[in-house]
Chain A
C-alpha cells in the first residue's frame, strides 16, 4: 500500500457539487463557526442534530462517507486516548466499575463519550473542508481573508504561499519516499525486517536521498518563481479572481441558521 493511500491529510477530491463551487472563504468561515459551535453543544440531542446536518452536507458534496471516515484513521489513537483518560480520571459521579485504584464513574463515562464525539466531529468537519476545497483555493482564501493583518506587519501572503507550497508537495514527497523505500529494499536494506535498530539504520539510506531531492526541488521552484518575477504579495493580481456569489451568501446564512438551530435544540433538550 502506498503511503499516499494512508495519509489523507490535505487531500482534495475534485468535484462539481455546490460545496465544491462555494468560495473558499465562505467554506472556511462556515467550518470555523461550526467547530467553535461544537464546544457549546453539551447534550446528546445537540450532537445528534449536528451529525444529521453534517451527514446531509456530506451527501450533498458527493464525497463517499467511507472516504471521509478514513480521515479519522490517523487520529483514532488520539480519540481513544482522550476517551480512556476521561473515563478513568474523572472524579465526578458515582462509581460503576472498580479495579483496585482504577474506577469508572457514570458522569466520567458520559464526559469521555462526549469528548470523543466532539473530537470526531471536529476532525470530520475539517476533513470535509479539505476534501471539497483544493489546497490552492484554500490558501488563497486564507490569504484574502486575513490580508487585513497586513497593517500589523504580518506577512500574510508569504505565509499563505508557504502553506500552498507545503500542501502542494506533500503528495509528491510521499510518492518519492515510497519509491526510494522500494528502491532501497530492492538493494536489501533492512527496512522491512529485523529489529528496530537495524530498520532505523536502513532509514539513513532513505532520508538522505529524500532530503537531497527536496532541496533540489525547492531550489528549482525558487528559480522558476524568480524567472517569473515573483516578489511577494504586493500588487499581485490573480488569475482566478475570487468573487463572492449569491450562493455564498445563502450558504453562509444557512450555516448560521443551522448553527443557531443546533444551539437552541441543545438548550431546549432534556439532558
Chain B
C-alpha cells in the first residue's frame, strides 16, 4: 500500500497560549513494501506524523492518500481504509483491557465484524507472528505478563487486523535488551516474510541503522533529511544539523577518520567494521 502525505500541517491547540505547530507543510511518500525509519529529536513531530498517516488525527491542512484514497475526506466513511494502517502507539501495553490475552487480541478483528472462526484463527496467527506460543499465552491475563510480553501482545492486537502497513512508535522504549531484541526480530520477519510496509519511529540510531532501508529525519515539524540508510548515516555534519547523532559504529569510524584513518563511515555491522579496522591497521604497519 502506497502512502502519500501531501503538504501536511498540524497545529495543536490552535488559538491557545500553548498553540504548537507540530508539523509544518510536510510532504512524504512511502511505497509498498518499504521499511522506513522515522527519526528526529524529541518533539520533532514523529508521533504526530504517524497519527496523521493512520487518520486518527486530521491534519489542519494537507492530505493523506492511501493508494489514492483520501483519508482526510469528511464526506466518505474512511474508517475501514484507515484500519489498513496499523499503528502501534508509544507504550501500547497501556491499552490492554480484556480478561485474557486472546480476548484482547480479538478486539480488533471483532470490530471489523469478522466471524468467530476467522477471529480465533487471527488470534492464533498473530500470537505466532510475535513469537508467543498460543497454548501458553492464550488464556493468561494480560496484566500478569512481563513488560516485553505485554508489548508483544499489544502488537499482536494490531497484527490481528491484518494491516497492510505497520507503524511502530518507539516500540522498544523502556524494555530490557532481550525484550528489545525479540520485538525487533519479529518486526524484521514480518517485513521480510509478509512484505508488510513498515514505518519505524525510534530515537535509537543503532536500531534504525540495523533494520531500515530508508531514513527520514524530522526536525521542527519538517523533513530535515532523507535517503538510503547508508547515505544518511555517512554525513555526520548534516545529521548533527538535524539534531541527530550517528549510530555507534559509524561514530567510532568517523572519529578514527578524523584521526587520519581512511575508513568508510556508514558500516553498521560489528564484524565488518572490525575487519576494515584490522585491514587499515595492517596497512599502517607496513
Contacts and interface: CB of A to CB of B under 8 A. Distances in A.
Interface of A: 2, 5, 13, 64, 66-67, 176, 179-180, 182-190, 192-193, 204-205, 208-209, 212-213
Given A180-B94, A183-B89, A67 B16 contact: yes
B261 interface: no
A205 B92 CA distance: 13
A188 B161 contact: yes
B79 A188 contact: yes
A2 B57 CA distance: 10
Q: Which among A64, A67, A205 has the greatest number of chain B C-beta atoms within 10 A? A: A205
Given A186-B56, A187-B111, A209-B96, A179 B15 contact: no
Contacts, number: 65
B128 to A, nearest CB: 19
A64 B17 contact: yes
B83 A188 contact: yes
Given A2-B13, A179-B94, A183-B94, 10 more contacts: A5-B16, A66-B15, A182-B57, A182-B89, A187-B107, A187-B161, A188-B79, A189-B107, A205-B95, A209-B97
Interface residues of B, number: 28
Contacts of A182: 51, 56-57, 89
B244 interface: no
A210 to B, nearest CB: 9
Contact of B92 (A5, A183, A204, A208): A183
Contacts of B51: 182
A140 B275 CA distance: 65
A180 B89 CA distance: 9
A180 B95 contact: yes
Nearest to A4: B13
B222 to A, nearest CB: 22
Contacts of A204: 97
B77 interface: yes
Contacts of A66: 15
Given A183-B95, A193-B77, A208-B97, A188 B56 contact: no
A interface secondary structure, majority:
helix
A5 B13 contact: yes
Contacts of B157: 187
A2 B54 contact: no
10 contacts: A5-B12, A5-B13, A67-B16, A67-B17, A182-B57, A186-B54, A186-B87, A187-B158, A188-B111, A208-B97
Nearest to B99: A208
Contacts of B137: none
B108 interface: yes
Contact of B94 (A13, A64, A188, A213): A213
Contacts of B107: 184, 187-189, 205
Contacts of A186: 54, 56, 83, 86-87, 89, 158
Max chain A Cβ within 10 angstroms of own Cβ: one of B16, B51, B89, B108: B16
B13 to A, nearest CB: 5
A48 B12 CA distance: 36
Contact of A190 (B86, B111, B158): B111
| A-B pairs, 9 with minimum CB distance | A188-B111, A208-B97, A183-B95, A187-B108, A183-B89, A209-B97, A182-B56, A186-B87, A5-B13
A137 to B, nearest CB: 19
Interface in B49-68: 51, 54, 56-57
B10 to A, nearest CB: 12
